[in-house]
A and B are shown apart, each in its own frame.
Chain A
Amino acid sequence: KNEVEQSPQNLTAQEGEFITINCSYSVGISALHWLQQHPGGGIVSLFMLSSGKKKHGRLIATINIQEKHSSLHITASHPRDSAVYICAVLPGWYNNNDMRFGAGTRLTVKP
C-alpha cells in the first residue's frame, strides 16, 4: 500500500476554475511538502506544512494532522498552472530524511 495517495490522478480544468488536489498519507509525519513539476522535469517546492494553512498568491495549502490529509487549492487557475503537483511527506520519526512521494496529479488548465 502506498504511504502517500493523491487524488485525482489527472485533472483538466478551464481557465479561471477553482482547483483542489488531495493528499492522504498513512504515516506520522513531521512535515508535508507540495511540489510542482513542470513538463521539462524540474521540481519546485511550493509549500512545506506541519499544521494549519499556508497561502502564496493564488495557491493555498491546508493540512489536517489528525485526519492525515492535505489539500492544495488553486484559485483562478491559469494555463501556466499546468504541471504535475506532487505531495511528499517527511516521516516523523527521529532523524528520518526519507521523504515519501505521492504519484502526482497531472493538472491541465485550458484557456
Chain B
Amino acid sequence: EPEVTQTPSHQVTQMGQEVILRCVPISNHLYFYWYRQILGQKVEFLVSFYNNEISEKSEIFDDQFSVERPDGSNFTLKIRSTKLEDSAMYFCASSDHRGVGGYTFGSGTRLTVV
C-alpha cells in the first residue's frame, strides 16, 4: 500500500536554528498538508498546498514557517528560527482530492527544540 514517508523521525535542534522537515507524499496525490501535535494536545492544521502554492494556512503558520515542493516528489516544511514552543510532532499528509479520496498520513517527525 502506498505510504507517505517523513524524514527524519526525530530531530533535536538548538533554539534559533533553522530546521527542514521532509516528506514524500504519495505520487499521484495532488494535495499536501502539514499538521502538528504538541505533546498531550490535539492535532492542529498548519498548511495545505496545491498546484505549487499554499492554498490555505492557519494562524499558527506565521512568517517563521514556509513550505516548498522543490522537485516532483518532496514536500518540505521549514522553520526558520526555532523556538522552544515549536517542539511537537509534525505530520505530513496527502490526498488525491480535498477530502474525497481520503487522506494518507506520514508517521511524523518529532521535533525537540532545546
Contact = CB atoms under 8 A, between A and B. Distances in A.
Interface in B2-41: 31, 33, 35, 37, 41
B112 interface: no
Contacts of B105: 35, 42-45
Nearest to B33: A97
B31 A97 contact: yes
A105 B55 CA distance: 30
A90 B102 contact: no
A101 B89 contact: no
B103 interface: yes
A45 B103 contact: yes
Contacts of A44: 105
Nearest to A31: B99
Nearest to A104: B42
A35 B74 CA distance: 24
B42 A103 contact: yes
Contacts of A50: 99
